[in-house]
Structure 1
């Protein structure tokens, strides 16, 4: 029993550390995603996720730049939300609160956010391809649509978190019912 307590204490410490890390990342992720548009080499990093567009990009500025920033910021905000929810979940676990109704709700929110991110990704990439080539001469503008294995993986992980969240919420409800009977 003492080993179990020590193990749980380690998980609580790890969760407290992860709560701080994910909260920090939630705040930084959208900021860094937007700043990439302004730092030397940042556009190259953005284009790594858009290999079909790389050779077609000309001068990026004006409405194309603003659209690219807006699309990037919106997509990054979904990641930030998932990280923020993760932070709250880790914080909850760090306090020893494992099976409350909040656990299931937070896992479902995280799953839904990851699903939204995955579903939005092909549209985000398409919008970025237009934004990055809008300043090109007619006939050299591009609309690239693709689905990556990353998008598919995010759908699976998002669905998994949704299901786990539902199961844990139901388990918490059943435990509450049981405690009221006994």
Structure 2
């Protein structure tokens, strides 16, 4: 048995990686399922979506068209979220397989960072579109166009960019590690 396989720190990392991969898959499925499931019940839309998009206090029309369009609009950032969380799941899976400093890890980090940044950039557009869709069936004068940009969105873009940067640094570390293996 090689020293790397008997290292208790690597064994803990592998165990945590396998566990966190499974937890991340559960979270991914719960968030996407819940995010889309909201659109199946008008009461959930009123309780969750309406306040989030900034149209509380305004009348909304929850007919088949608005709920279908809302579902489709909400699916876009949820797809980005699912992609990013799947990259995280794969990172943890790789840790579970004992892979640490690799070009693949760097790529996965960069993809996750891009998903975080993209989702944050989409949030204001998605919220605006949802507000329009949910009030589209209202009579003229009662339709709402609510545009919002939160500090959370700005910070999320920065965090996404940071993760992309860490991925680039990891790529360089993986390259150096490969070169050093050649000298041993």
TM-score, normalization by structure 2: 0.89
In the alignment, which residue of structure 2 is the partner of 1:166?
A: 168
Q: Residue 39 of structure 2: SS of its match in structure 1?
A: coil
In the alignment, which residue of structure 1 is the partner of 2:58?
A: 56
In the alignment, which residue of structure 1 is the partner of 2:137?
A: 135
Runs of 4 or more consecutive aligned structure 1 residues displaced over 4 Å after TM superposition = none
Structure 2 Cα separation of the partners of residues 173 and 151 of structure 1:
33
Q: Residue 57 of structure 2: SS of its match in structure 1?
A: helix
- Show the 5 A alignment for 1:52-131: 52-131=54-133
Structure 1 Cα separation of the partners of residues 113 and 83 of structure 2:
11
C-alpha deviation, 1:151, in angstroms: 0.7
C-alpha deviation, 1:46, in angstroms: 1.6
**Aligned length in residues:** 179
Kindly indicate whether the alpha-carbon contact (under 8 Å) linking 2:13 and 2:98 is maintained by their aligned counterparts in 1: no
Q: CA RMSD in A?
A: 1.9
Structure 1 unaligned runs (5+)? none
Partner deviation per Cα, 1:120-176 (whole Å, 9 max, x = no partner): 110000001101110111111111111112212211210111000000011101221
Partner deviation per Cα, 1:72-124 (whole Å, 9 max, x = no partner): 11111111111111000001011211011111000000001111101111000
In the alignment, which residue of structure 1 is the partner of 2:48?
A: 45
Structure 2 unaligned runs (5+)? none
Kindly indicate whether the alpha-carbon contact (under 8 Å) linking 2:42 and 2:62 is maintained by their aligned counterparts in 1: no
C-alpha deviation, 1:10, in angstroms: 2.5
In the alignment, which residue of structure 2 is the partner of 1:146?
A: 148
C-alpha deviation, 1:40, in angstroms: 6.1
Structure 1 Cα separation of the partners of residues 169 and 61 of structure 2:
50
- Kindly tell me: are residues 178 and 9 of structure 1, through their superposed partners in 2, closer, same or farther at Cα, counting changes over 3 Å? closer
